[in-house]
């Protein structure tokens, strides 16, 4: 029965076997049509339905391997280009960095060049030492550079190195024809002296045979130098970090000024003026200059003595002393160092000399050239100021006045073997020796042959400065080997003048010596004129030029404008 139903259902009866096969095909065709229709309906419905938002793609790490070879840029090899304007000191510094130099700035990884900021480089306008001009105006200097000036500076060729020319060509433009002469630094000084030329040099190249000229009232060797008001400067910088340049080639904390003076004796008419016009009266005009010095030296020949009589304007004897209250003049001027080698230190008895030394000690004033005994007076005075080690040593050449002994105070005799040994010993330790002489006094400025020989003896020992403290009449000077010798400075505070006219003893030198970073840069000659028997003032321009012309002549130098 079940088989029968099956055959009837599928048309498998024997009678309709063929029809059953056709029926199967028909059934299959109908079924396919239904499937196709259903599929089309689904497609239509899907097109009418809003799209469902797919979840955001999650970043995945690529598993695709990198190519076996990739193109890369080759870095430049390290190279330093140095601007032609860079001064020698910075150029030398750059050689310590271990970077090869290149002449092509496009190949450089570092550039050392002129800039608007960075390492400040100070330059100096200089002339041969026996030059009368003291300062110039920057506008006149630039006009000369451009060939448009009738100022006296236009008569001087400006010497400089290639690098300095590059600096100021950048600042001022190309110089006019024949204004500038490029020379090697080591030849510059000799050329300047022989051709009456001036020069522009970096501050670090200043040396004693140059005279540093002020520009717009500013001088780089002055303590009160204002760099903002000074035109001779430039800046240098590196294009990237990695190396350090100095802040500047001039550091005021490394500069020391020492002012040396001639004869002082607060006695007779000088003392009388102090009694009438005030203890500080003699120093009032020059006070600021004296106070500015790092070390101020005074050669006070007379002793301070409590028993000193009231000053007598008509005193005829040359036995001198000073009232102890006159120490107020020296403290007002900020005196640092007292020379005790003077001829008149022993004019009174030992008690006066010992009292003087005690007064100086109480005032904080150090001394040399004399002392409580010979050992005390002979020893050098050593000072370290702003990193410059200064040594003072001195003696009285005239043995009759040198009274110091093992058991007696006074000025000390000149023991040249001892002095030479002391100078050489301390110079080897970095000290810059200054020797001051109480030598014979002369009534005229000429240097005597024996005087020259005796001064040069000390220079040969190694003193950087040899200065004559003894002279009432100022004398000439010279550069001898590596030393500056001034044979006599003249008076400072001493009454040698006349109511009947000017005396040569009224013309005074005050020497301001400049030391920097353990090196002697040179001396400025300050000129003064004694008035009212007691008080020096600055010379006028005309007085100064006449005085310097005379003294440069006695020094056997050609005077230069």
Extents of the domains making up the chain:
80-250, 253-554
- Reported as a pLDDT band with limits 50, 70 and 90, residue 522 is very high
CB atoms closer than 10 angstroms to residue 51: 6
Output the pLDDT for position 149: 81
3-state DSSP assignment of residue 523: strand
Output the pLDDT for position 58: 41
- Reported as a pLDDT band with limits 50, 70 and 90, residue 87 is very high
pLDDT of 40 strictly over 60:
no
Radius of gyration, alpha carbons of the chain: 46
| β-strand partners of 286 | none
Mean predicted lDDT score pLDDT of the chain: 90
User: Residue range 118-135: average pLDDT?
Assistant: 98
| β-strand partners of 160 | 182
Output the pLDDT for position 73: 55
Task: Please provide residue 208's backbone torsions phi and psi, each rounded to the nearest 5 degrees.
Answer: -60, -30
Output the pLDDT for position 242: 81
Report the distance separating Cα 557 and Cα 548, nearest Å: 11
User: Residue range 35-44: average pLDDT?
Assistant: 40
**Of the candidate ranges 181-185, 314-318, 385-389, 407-411, the one whose mean pLDDT is the lowest:** 314-318
Output the pLDDT for position 19: 36
pLDDT of 301 strictly over 80:
yes
Each residue's pLDDT tens digit, 385-443:
999 999 999 999 999 999 999 999 999 999 999 999 999 999 999 999 999 999 999 99
- State pTM to two decimals: 0.86
pLDDT of 1 strictly over 60:
no
80-250 domain in CATH 3.30.450.370?
A: no
Whether 104 contacts 76, CB under 8 Å: no
pLDDT of 297 strictly over 50:
yes
User: Residue range 121-138: average pLDDT?
Assistant: 98
Each residue's pLDDT tens digit, 154-172:
789 999 999 999 999 999 9
| β-strand partners of 180 | 158
In percent, the amount of the chain with pLDDT more than 70 equals: 86
Q: How far is CA 306 from the centre of its chain?
A: 45
Output the pLDDT for position 14: 40
CB atoms closer than 10 angstroms to residue 550: 16
CATH code for 253-554? 3.60.21.10
Whether 468 contacts 459, CB under 8 Å: no
Q: Position of tokens 């870095």?
A: 75
pLDDT of 49 strictly over 50:
no
Per-residue tokens: 13: 């009866």
Each residue's pLDDT tens digit, 257-280:
999 999 999 999 999 999 999 999
């Amino acid at each position: 029965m079940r088989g029968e139903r099956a055959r009837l259902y599928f048309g498998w009866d024997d009678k309709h076997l063929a029809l059953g096969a056709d029926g199967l095909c028909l059934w299959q065709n109908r079924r396919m049509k239904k499937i196709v229709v259903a599929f089309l309906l689904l497609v239509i419905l899907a097109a009418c339905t809003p799209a469902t938002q797919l979840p955001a793609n999650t970043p995945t790490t690529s598993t695709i391997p990198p190519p076996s070879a990739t193109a890369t840029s080759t870095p430049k090899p390290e190279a330093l280009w140095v601007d032609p304007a860079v001064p020698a000191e910075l150029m030398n510094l750059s050689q310590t960095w271990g970077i090869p130099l290149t002449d092509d700035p496009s190949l450089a990884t570092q550039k050392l060049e002129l800039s608007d900021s960075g390492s400040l480089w100070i330059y100096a306008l200089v002339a041969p030492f026996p030059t009368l001009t003291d300062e110039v105006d920057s506008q006149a200097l630039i006009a000369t550079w451009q060939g448009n000036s009738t100022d006296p500076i236009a008569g001087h060729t400006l010497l400089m190195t290639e690098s300095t020319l590059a600096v100021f060509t950048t600042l001022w433009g190309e110089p006019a024809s024949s204004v500038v002469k490029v020379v090697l630094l080591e030849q510059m000084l000799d050329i300047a002296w022989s051709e009456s030329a001036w020069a522009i040099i970096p501050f670090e190249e200043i040396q004693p045979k140059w005279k540093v000229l002020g520009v717009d009232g500013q001088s780089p060797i002055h303590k009160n130098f204002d760099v903002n008001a000074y035109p001779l400067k430039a800046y240098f910088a590196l294009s990237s970090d990695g190396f350090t340049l100095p802040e500047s080639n001039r550091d005021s904390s490394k500069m020391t000024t020492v002012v040396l003076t001639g004869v002082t004796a607060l006695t007779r008419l000088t003392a009388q003026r102090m009694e009438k016009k005030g203890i500080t009266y003699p120093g009032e005009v020059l006070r600021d200059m004296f106070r500015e010095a790092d070390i101020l030296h005074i050669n006070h020949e007379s002793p301070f003595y409590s028993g000193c009589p009231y000053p007598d304007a008509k005193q005829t004897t040359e036995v001198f002393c000073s009232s102890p209250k006159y120490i107020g003049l020296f403290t007002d001027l900020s005196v640092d160092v007292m020379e005790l080698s003077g001829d008149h230190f022993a004019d009174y008895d030992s008690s006066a000399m010992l009292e003087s030394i005690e007064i100086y000690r109480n005032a904080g004033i150090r001394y040399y050239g004399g002392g409580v005994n010979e050992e005390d007076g002979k020893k050098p005075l050593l000072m370290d100021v702003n990193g410059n080690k200064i040594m003072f040593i001195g003696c009285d050449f005239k043995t009759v006045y040198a009274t110091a002994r093992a058991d007696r105070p006074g000025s000390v005799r000149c023991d040249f073997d001892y002095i030479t040994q002391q100078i050489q010993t301390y110079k080897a330790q970095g000290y810059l020796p200054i020797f001051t002489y109480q030598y014979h006094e002369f009534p005229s400025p000429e240097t005597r042959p024996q005087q020259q020989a005796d001064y040069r003896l000390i220079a040969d020992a190694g003193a950087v400065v040899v200065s004559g403290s003894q002279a009432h009449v100022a004398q000439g000077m010279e550069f001898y080997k590596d030393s500056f010798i001034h044979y006599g400075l003249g008076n400072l505070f001493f009454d040698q003048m006349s109511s009947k006219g000017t005396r040569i003893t009224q013309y005074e030198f005050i020497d301001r010596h400049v030391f920097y970073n353990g090196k002697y840069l040179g001396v400025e000659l300050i000129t003064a004129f004694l008035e009212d028997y007691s008080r020096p003032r600055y010379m006028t321009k005309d007085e100064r030029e006449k005085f310097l012309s005379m003294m440069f002549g006695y020094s056997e130098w050609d005077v230069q404008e």
